[in-house]
Amino acid sequence: MTVQEARRKLRNYRPTEIPFETGMIAAAVAVILRDGDEGVEALFIQRAVRVGDVWSGQIAFPGGRREPTDADLLTTAVRETLEEVGVDLSSAERLGVLDDLHPRTPVLPPVVVRPFVFALTVRPAIVLSPEVQDAFWVSFRALTAPGTRSEMTVDHPGIPRGVLPAYALGNRVIWGMSERILTPLISLVS
């Protein structure tokens, strides 16, 4: 699979938006794709371990909460990506938008996340902010390899222990909202 194929399949996709209600927190993430040696690959971050951060240490896509100065959620995704990993998406190709989603765990804040999909032609330099412990690229080939995605027991501080769908990539596990963004994207563009 290539970015060109992803572009073609995302072109006509119409995402499902969750209507915002009082008390909801708007957020956006950037799903950044590029063609690598093994086909299309996506950029992931590992959030820094921080006291009080319910997503502490998790694998995620760059992104975060909408600020009052953000014109829209696309602006949020671009700003947060620049802040977290130093990648400027302001002139990157936007391939599309995926379905809005929210956490399924009641201990998490009432956030609604809108994923924006971008394409880059080159692998950018990464500059980690204090919020990010690591950033890395993973090919869709690796994500769809036999045994990578399965039901796993997830034990994370502040979140009830449970068996959830997840991607195991060595010592990294993609689960929760990141898995719920990634799995439909892989199905859509494959």
Note the pLDDT tens digit of each residue in 92-130. Answer: 999 999 999 988 776 677 899 999 999 999 999 999 999
pLDDT at 57: 82
Q: Kind of pairing, strands 93-97 and 25-36?
A: unpaired
186 falls within a domain: no
Mean of pLDDT values over 41-57:
84
% of the chain residues with pLDDT over 70: 93
Query: What's the whole-model pTM score?
Result: 0.93
Indicate which CATH number applies to the domain containing 96.
3.90.79.10
% of the chain residues with pLDDT over 90: 76
- SS3 call for 77: helix
131 falls within a domain: yes
Domain coverage including residue 91? 3-140
pLDDT at 62: 98
Q: Which of 16-30, 130-144, 152-166, 175-189 has the lowest mean pLDDT?
A: 152-166
48 falls within a domain: yes
Number of domains present in the structure of the chain:
1
Mean of pLDDT values over 33-41:
96
pLDDT at 145: 96
180 falls within a domain: no
113 falls within a domain: yes
Q: Does the structure show a pLDDT above 90 at 64?
A: yes
**Rounded Cα–Cα distance for residues 76 and 90 (Å):** 11
**Rounded Cα–Cα distance for residues 50 and 57 (Å):** 8
Instruction: Categorize the per-residue pLDDT at 60 as very low, low, confident or very high, splitting at 50, 70 and 90.
Output: very high
pLDDT at 5: 95
21 falls within a domain: yes
175 falls within a domain: no
Kindly report the number of other CB atoms within 10 A of residue 143's CB atom.
19
pLDDT at 158: 59
156 falls within a domain: no
pLDDT at 54: 67
Kindly state the tokens that stand for 23: 């008390």
Q: Does the structure show a pLDDT above 80 at 163?
A: no
